[in-house]
């Protein structure tokens, strides 16, 4: 049986901005206390250390709009998580049936992968929700 709704969360990357090195600017989330989770454009060479210091907020509005977006993203995260959980349930019910040792090993492997996926996105979610709590 297929697991429902196919709404995939798209990461928008419209409006090609370029940094001072004329490279396509990269969208990153701010991790500062003042603007946690807010997005900005930066130089893609940022991690290499020789960036051009290009900086521009992804959404210029101060205040609530970007926070709203973070909330919407949190909602999408939850939907995605529900999908992964459905998958987990399916795998577990397969494990309950009579399966060979080989199949069991395979199923446990996919179970472990889904669990990790869930764990990591849960960390993102906790971060987003804490934003909502503090600033919303």
From the list 72, 67, 73, the residue with the least C-alpha distance to 134 is: 67
CB atoms within 10 A of CB 38: 21
Shortest reach from residue 17's CB to Zn ion, in Å: 11
Binding to Zn ion by residue 25, rule CB under 5 A?
A: no
Cα 121 to Cα 116: distance, rounded to the nearest angstrom: 9
Nearer to Zn ion, 52 or 107 (CB): 52
Q: DSSP H helical segments within 30-64, as ranges?
A: none
Pick the stretch among 5-13, 29-37, 47-55, 84-92 that binds Zn ion (CB under 5 A): 47-55
From the list 22, 75, 6, 15, the residue with the least C-alpha distance to 39 is: 15
Shortest reach from residue 24's CB to Zn ion, in Å: 10
Pick the stretch among 9-17, 52-60, 108-116, 117-125 that binds Zn ion (CB under 5 A): 52-60
Pick the stretch among 13-21, 60-68, 87-95, 99-107 that binds Zn ion (CB under 5 A): 13-21
List the structure tokens of 81: 């998580």
Among 26, 43, 128, 131, binds Zn ion (CB under 5 A): 43
Largest Cα span, the chain: 61
Binding to Zn ion by residue 19, rule CB under 5 A?
A: yes
């Amino acid at each position: 049986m297929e697991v429902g709704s196919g709404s995939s969360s798209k990461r928008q990357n419209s409006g090609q901005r370029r940094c001072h090195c004329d490279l396509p600017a990269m969208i990153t989330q701010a991790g500062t206390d003042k603007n946690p989770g807010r997005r900005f454009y930066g130089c893609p060479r940022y991690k290499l250390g020789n960036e051009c210091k290009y900086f521009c907020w992804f959404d210029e509005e101060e205040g609530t709009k970007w926070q709203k977006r973070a909330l919407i993203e949190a909602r999408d995260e939850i939907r995605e998580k529900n999908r992964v959980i459905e998958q987990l349930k399916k795998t577990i019910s397969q494990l309950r049936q009579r399966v060979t040792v080989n199949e069991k090993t395979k199923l446990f492997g996919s179970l472990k992968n889904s669990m990790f996926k869930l764990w990591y996105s849960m960390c993102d979610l906790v971060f987003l929700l804490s934003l909502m709590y503090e600033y919303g």
